Chain A
Amino acid sequence: MDDLSFEAPTGEITVLVGPSGCGKTTSLRMINRMIDASEGRILLDGVPVQGIDPPTLRRGIGYVIQQAGLFPHRKIVDNVATVPYLLGWDRKKARTRAMELLERVGLDPALAGRYPFQLSGGQQQRVGVARALAADPPVLLMDEPFSAVDPIVRTSLQDELLRLQSELNKTIVFVTHDIDEAIKLGDRVAVLRVGGRLAQLAEPKTLLAEPADDFVREFLGHDRGIRRLQFVSTAGLRLRTDLTAPEGFSGDSPEPWLLVVDGEGRPVGWRSAARPGELEPYGTFVPGRDSMRAALDAALLSPSGCSVAVDEQGRVVGVATRNALDLALAEAADG
């Protein structure tokens, strides 16, 4: 670690990301004094952590690690209640709180009486998160918590974390080597280079748009332009509403493509003027909720080159043509 200085704002997720050996885990572990800094200060709400007795400090900071690190000899409910027990809560209160948290992180309460080895990796990791939250600490440290589970489970754990965070507003410092995870989860992302130097600290969309140097650019990897689009809103996208036709429509139209819609307003398929007998596949997005990346992806899924805008119930609200997408992309590129 060399002259690293950054601030993790209250209520936000700050992600430390970088190649192995960049000191991201070391930085994290300095916050709860699992490792003591040889020089410099770490302030928690303005108080230097070096002045706090480590166990007392750690009981006030949630800690989640890669392999969950659950106590194998204790039932799930008692694992979650670890810190409340340490803080001297009575057993009943601690267990009630633990049950609440199991539900919060999306686990079946029936698992409470099981032992860790009876759970899958993803379930164990959820228990790990519940355990870190048990005493309601304002700060949460997460050290590659989702790295050891398969991609599908990882995605669902990430979504779960974002959902939890929208309810709890914890101050989270999250370490990962996965830049996509960093961009997905971080309110702010700190890219570290080997030797523990800060290469860039920025919001994900800024990071993608304006990488500070070649190291950051290379670390962000390819598709940077496309990935940036996930931070561009579709709310202002110009939609056409004159390109739909009811099922069974057989007339002529000046348009090369028409979207066939069923009786409830849901899309059925694209009808091409060249081959009116067949319906071609379509892709949808929800304007305002989904990003430009999703809208563009939907357009690329269809031979029509258009993207179908639907509401939350899946009913067609309009069509984004290539022209409209082009315009929006040009605006996005201007920043």
Chain B
Amino acid sequence: MSWVEAFLNWLVQFFGDPANWTGPDGIPTRLLEHLQFSALALVLAALVAVPLGLAIGHTGRGEVLVVVTANLARALPTLGLLVMFVLLLGASSIWPVIIPLVLLAIPPILVNTYEGIRGVDPDLRDAAYGMGLRGGQVLGRVLVPVALPLILLGCRLSAIQVVATTTVAAYTGLGGLGRYVIDGFATQDYASVVGGSVLIVLFALFVQFGFALAQRVTVSPGVSRRLKVR
């Protein structure tokens, strides 16, 4: 039996088992959990990082914060952070897991939002002020629409990270798709490991697709240049 056959057999076994489609550890429940945890962490991170990045990028004040955040993000070990919070706060609620997820998701959004705003052509800024736009109008009507691709890129990078880390978070007892992989290994139920992995990959692809769609809907064709030149 080749490994491809084994892989397919496990898939059939996992997805073919009616017991896997219902109940608190059924696929729909786990999928929803995964979505909820990821989305919650991402939304909280964006609520903090986007306004902060806009403010720092627009005023040019507090740029040190961006640099420090960016470097911290590279230095922090994901799993270590998770375990630390669970040990500190106990595993009685989802927050010991959500908080480190939020902390991980902030830097890419903050850095990209900041860079997006800072990177807008100075002539464009100048023209906007020269037309008589006020500071807030310059930010909202000109800088944000032009920087939007980068802001969305930051959110997407964070989303990928959060979705992946939510999987690992199952290690601390959290629900979500990671349960299949972690529990599968523990009980040597390889069908569960393989099926769970495939679900996680599909979920990640789905998130990517969602962001691509959001980009297409929200970014002006004049900025993305997805029209013919002339």
A227 part of interface (Cβ distance < 8 Å): no
B126 in contact with A65 (CB, 8 Å): yes
Q: Check if A58 is an interface residue, CB within 8 A of chain B.
A: yes
Q: Answer whether residue B7 sits at the interface, using C-beta atoms and an 8 A cutoff.
A: no
Contact A67 B123 (CB under 8 A): yes
Output the residue of A65, A72, A119 with the most chain B CB within 10 A: A72
- Contact partners of A70 in chain B: CB under 8 A: 127
Knowing A67-B123, A71-B124, A73-B145, the reply to whether A116 touches B222 (Cβ < 8 A) is: yes
Interface size on B, residues (CB 8 A): 26
Q: How far is the CA of A119 from the CA of B134 in the complex (A)?
A: 27
Main secondary structure of the interface of B (DSSP, over half): helix
Cα A54 to Cα B138 in complex, Å, equals 14
Judged by a CB distance under 8 angstroms, whether A69 is at the interface is: yes
**Which of B124, B129, B131, B222 has the most chain A CB atoms inside 10 A of its CB?**
B131
A73-B123 contact, Cβ under 8 Å, with A59-B131, A59-B132:
no
* Interface status of A291 (Cβ within 8 A of chain B): no
List B contacts of A83 (CB < 8 A): 131-132
Interface centre among B127, B129, B145, B225 (most CB of A within 10 A): B127
B128, CB-defined interface residue at 8 Å:
yes
Answer whether residue B35 sits at the interface, using C-beta atoms and an 8 A cutoff.
no
Bound-complex Cα distance A202 to B21 (A): 88
Instruction: Judge whether B229 and A117 touch: CB under 8 Å.
Output: yes
Q: Is B12 an interface residue (CB 8 A)?
A: no
- B142 A63 Cβ-Cβ under 8 A: no
**Beta-carbon contacts under 8 Å, B103-140 to A:** 121, 123-124, 126-134, 137
Check A66 for interface membership: any CB of B closer than 8 A.
yes
Contact A66 B123, CB 8 Å, known A73-B145, A75-B222: yes
The answer on a CB contact under 8 Å between B132 and A69 is: no
A73 and B222 within 8 A (CB): yes
The interface residues of chain A lying within 8 Å CB-to-CB of B128 are 69, 71
Contact for B124 among A55, A57, A72, A131, CB less than 8 A: A72
- Specify which of A57, A68, A82 lies most central, judged by the most chain B CB atoms within 10 Å of its CB: A82
Residues of B within 8 Å of A57, CB to CB, are: 132
Residues A72 and B127 in contact, CB atoms below 8 Å apart: no
